[in-house]
Structure 1
Amino acid sequence: MVPVGTASGTRKLRVLALHGYLQNAEVFRSRTGALRKALKKHCDLVFLDAPHEIKVDLQGNEIKSCGGKEGEDQSYYGWWIASEGGPPRESKSAEGWERSLGLLEEALERDGPFDGVLGFSMGAAASALLCAAIESKKVQNHEQFKFAILFGGFVPRDPVLADSLLSVKLGLPSLHYSGQNDQLVVEQRSRELLQSFGEEESTFVLHPQGHCIPSLREVREKVKEFVAAQQSICTTSNKS
């Protein structure tokens, strides 16, 4: 897809959007409606389903995890699975990231190039892991993203995933959000992600809500300002 130009001569950016655990691409698209509206002149978000299906009961409790997408009732996915049970964000032994990385690499080749990446919760962790894989040349068919926007992100507990993330230094500009009332991914865990991003290139912002992409005007305006700045940089770079 060719980016659409704007009247000012800039081009719209393309941003890969990765959903959180027990979500899917359509749910994430719906929950970012206000943000997408704020960013519509600056970028297009491209949403992608994770490959691991998570079975849930009528109360929303996880009852089975598997690696496929068989059946017609799939709705909930994850970027990896906790091998010993429990929430994947706390698991010290995760399974399935390599499969997810392969799917993401295929998406980059098929739908890219992408200028930036945006993720929520497990999707924010997956976004950072993808940036690290590109930086370490494990993924070679896509240049490093020009920026990252991460909501409620964290460094995985799994030591292999954590090392693959923390062993590289990412110089791309990044915007990190953490909720003051987030009981699932506390502020300290989101701050740990900053270790992989340069201090001068990173911005960390606390918002007053919980584990979500906050529905606050000041958040939308901050993200819009950040993306508009990246759009200007990308346009200038393309002209030089």
Structure 2
Amino acid sequence: MVPGGSQGAAAATSAQRKLKVLALHGYLQNADVFRSRTGALRKALKKHCEFVFVNAPHHIQVDLQGNDIVSCDGDDHAKCYGWWLAGPEGGPPREAKSAKGWETSLGVLEETLRREGPFDGLLGFSMGAAASALLCAAIESKRVSCHDQFKFALLFGGFVPRDPVLAESLRDAKLSIPSIHYSGLSDELVVADRSRELVGCFSEGVATFESHPQGHCIPSLREVREKCKAFVADRTNP
């Protein structure tokens, strides 16, 4: 008989379990694009994590001049999505004072947690980083019923939405999830102060703010990969 028997085998299986990470893409991206743009980071974390990439529910059609047009016909050829849309005032959703459609996205994410969870971590970029924090706030306030989710978050280019209701929900939450927040020194879309504002929505001591020398992206830099790898390794089951 093998020493330890079935209990030893169960312990070994538990020790080998990878952390499941929910990955939320940025505005005008989709799950497949986000998967391809996180290749270097995923490779660094492959020993510890498996990733589940999800499309936001709001399809955006982009015209030849680069203007965002909401598509209502279900045409999926552009494959550009958002977690919310700008309200009547228009402009880019990250600057809009109303976040049209966020409740629909929250429902999609809650269903994802039920169907594919529980999840151990979050990976979010830009609007996806903001959506990650909003999802955590909804869980902590019990607006979303799927509890026991998320031991950590890796957030790149994140921000607090301008929508006052969503902004207040984040500030009031004081999220307790350990997180790293990266901001690009050359990022002109989401400046560092906006990412620092998101850090302020987390409880003191659980969120770390980091800079990288590139723009609005998830960089493939070795120092970023290694820091994220060490951060996640600390949360891997022993």
Q: Partner of 1:220 in structure 2?
A: 225
SS at match of 1:196: coil
Q: Partner of 2:194 in structure 1?
A: 189
Q: Partner of 1:177 in structure 2?
A: 182
Stretches of structure 2 lacking an aligned partner (at least 5 in a row): 1-10
SS at match of 2:205: helix
* 1:61-113 residue CA offsets vs partner (Å, 9 max, x unmatched): 134114x5712414100000001211100001220000000000000000111
Aligned partners of 1:108 and 1:142 also within 8 Å: no
Separation (CA, whole Å) in 1 of partners of 2:187 and 2:235? 28
Instruction: Select between 197-206 and 103-112 the one with higher mean Cα deviation.
Output: 197-206
Q: Partner of 2:7 in structure 1?
A: none
Separation (CA, whole Å) in 2 of partners of 1:142 and 1:171? 13
Q: Partner of 2:214 in structure 1?
A: 209
Aligned partners of 2:98 and 2:163 also within 8 Å: yes
Separation (CA, whole Å) in 1 of partners of 2:73 and 2:15? 42
The question of 1:55 aligning with 2:61 is answered: yes
For 2:57, the aligned partner's letter is: P
For 2:91, the aligned partner's letter is: G
Separation (CA, whole Å) in 2 of partners of 1:46 and 1:71? 24
- Counterpart among 18, 34, 56 of residue 12 in structure 1: 18
Deviation at 1:197, TM superposition (A): 0.9
Deviation at 1:215, TM superposition (A): 1.6
Aligned partners of 2:63 and 2:69 also within 8 Å: no
The question of 1:75 aligning with 2:79 is answered: yes
Aligned partners of 1:21 and 1:78 also within 8 Å: yes
Structure 1 pair 169/63, CA: closer, same or farther in 2 (3 Å)? Answer: closer
SS at match of 2:20: strand
SS at match of 1:70: coil
Deviation at 1:9, TM superposition (A): 2.5
Aligned partners of 2:62 and 2:78 also within 8 Å: no
Deviation at 1:116, TM superposition (A): 0.7
Separation (CA, whole Å) in 1 of partners of 2:37 and 2:80? 15
TM-score with structure 1 length normalisation? 0.90
Separation (CA, whole Å) in 1 of partners of 2:97 and 2:106? 19
Structure 1 pair 222/7, CA: closer, same or farther in 2 (3 Å)? Answer: farther
TM-score with structure 2 length normalisation? 0.91
For 1:131, the aligned partner's letter is: C
Separation (CA, whole Å) in 1 of partners of 2:121 and 2:14? 21
Structure 1 pair 32/143, CA: closer, same or farther in 2 (3 Å)? Answer: same
Q: Partner of 2:40 in structure 1?
A: 34
Question: Paired residues, what number?
Answer: 227
Q: Over the residues paired in the alignment, what is the CA RMSD in angstroms?
A: 1.7
The question of 1:86 aligning with 2:88 is answered: no
SS at match of 1:92: coil
Q: Partner of 1:156 in structure 2?
A: 161
Structure 1 pair 7/100, CA: closer, same or farther in 2 (3 Å)? Answer: closer
Stretches of structure 1 lacking an aligned partner (at least 5 in a row): none
SS at match of 2:200: helix
Aligned partners of 2:25 and 2:34 also within 8 Å: yes
